[in-house]
Amino acid sequence: MPGTIKGPAIFLAQFASDEAPFNSLPSIAKWVGKLGYKGVQVPAWDTRFIDLDKAAISKGYCDELKGQCAEHGVEITELASHLLGQLVAVHPVYDAQFDAFAPSHVHGNPQARREWAEDALIKTAKASRNFGLDVSASFTGALAFPFLYPWPQRPEGLIEEAFSELARRWTPILDVYEDHGVDVAYELHPGEDVFDGATFEMFLEALGGHPRCCINYDPSHFLLQQMDYLAFIDIYHDRIKAFHVKDAEFNPDGRQGVYSGYQPWLNRAGRFRSLGDGQVDFKGIFSRLATHGYEGWAVLEWECCLKHPEDGAAEGAPFIADHIIRVTDKAFDDFAGGETDPAMLRQLLGF
């Protein structure tokens, strides 16, 4: 029988700051441990929590960080590399905005920025292995996203060429992850070329079905696209290796819908909410993941447009814990069974 989903865990990126206890791994591990979390997903780019260069070459250093977390009853669940993955593929229209994700010495130089990001992703693979982790969460980046809406009419072959190039950039990176036994679980996210099931299939095909190309399942992005996020699990469960527990709501009206009219988050028809405040069917999700044998972590990603982050974090741990299903190793009607008798089976069938 499959095991039980692990958790609750929390993604640290949205809570990081230069103020204690959010400015170092030991102090934030203590904070989340007191809230009831058992795991932390660590942003690989945030030097307040991890020295990625050191983690890539020193298992001893990784063991030290693991020990700092363990003192507070917390373990490291995954290293996240979203901002690094984003920089693997950047359409020039976004160059100025995405320079902020990279160190200043590569600003204004897209090729140098990409090489820096690819090197950091390779270090994330090596660091993940040094931590004993089998999964890392990331983004794909985007070359085609400015052409999302087919007006003006897209030239034939434009999208295919974008996905071919995306695969060319990611294949050598994924090969390193393969060498280190680590999956890359891409968060399917608007703003990335891979944002739903159809685009994931296009990417996977361009990669030749690479075994390390996997999914970080986040239902909030699917609700805002009005997708069937439960059916998504049925279709892609073999590739789901990570899980962001994030809520959202979609309230269209006479003025705006899926595109939300360029409004700020607070005024959008589709917006992120704290766990339990939105419309995502988490009972259905946890049941469907348990049915398909997902044994990874359930990780809170907090991005609410209304609630204070510390309140969202405090509420998130019990919410996730209450939704985790302890998978049974028994059938409910075992009590009524008996010994199997081959002769009786044939008799029951009328043979």
The pair phi, psi for residue 78, each rounded to 5°, is -155, 160
| Predicted confidence (pLDDT) per residue in 315-324, tens digit | 999 999 999 9
203 within domain boundaries: yes
Domain annotation covers residue 152: yes
pLDDT at 308 over 90: yes
Average pLDDT over residues 147-156: 97
User: How confident is the model over 276-306, as pLDDT tens digits?
Assistant: 999 999 999 999 999 999 999 999 999 999 9
Q: Which of 232, 166, 163 is nearest to 196 (CA)?
A: 232
Q: Does residue 118 form part of some domain?
A: yes
Residue 119: which CATH number?
Answer: 3.20.20.150
Distance CA(142)–CA(195), nearest Å, equals 10
Assess whether pLDDT exceeds 80 at residue 86: yes
pLDDT-derived band at 331 (thresholds 50, 70, 90) equals low
Total domains in the fold of the chain = 1
Confidence at residue 328, expressed as pLDDT on a 0 to 100 scale: 84
* Residue 87 near residue 98, CB atoms below 8 Å: yes
215 lies in which domain range? 6-348
Q: What is the DSSP letter of 238?
A: G
On whether residue 161 sits in a domain, the answer given is: yes
> What's the predicted TM-score (pTM) here?
0.95
Examine residue 89 and state whether it is found in any structural domain, yes or no.
Answer: yes
pLDDT of 11 strictly over 90: yes
Q: Where are the alpha helices (DSSP H) in 188-308?
A: 197-206, 219-224, 229-236, 282-291
For residues 37-65, average pLDDT? 98
pLDDT band of 339, cuts 50, 70, 90? confident
Spatial distance between the Cα atoms of 250 and 269, rounded to a whole number of angstroms: 5
CA 327: distance to chain centroid? 23
For residue 1, tell me if it sits in a domain: no
The CA–CA distances, whole Å, from 245 to 46, 137, 148 equal 21, 13, 26
Tell whether 236 is covered by a domain: yes
Specify if 134 maps to a domain. Answer: yes
Say if residue 190's pLDDT is above 60. yes
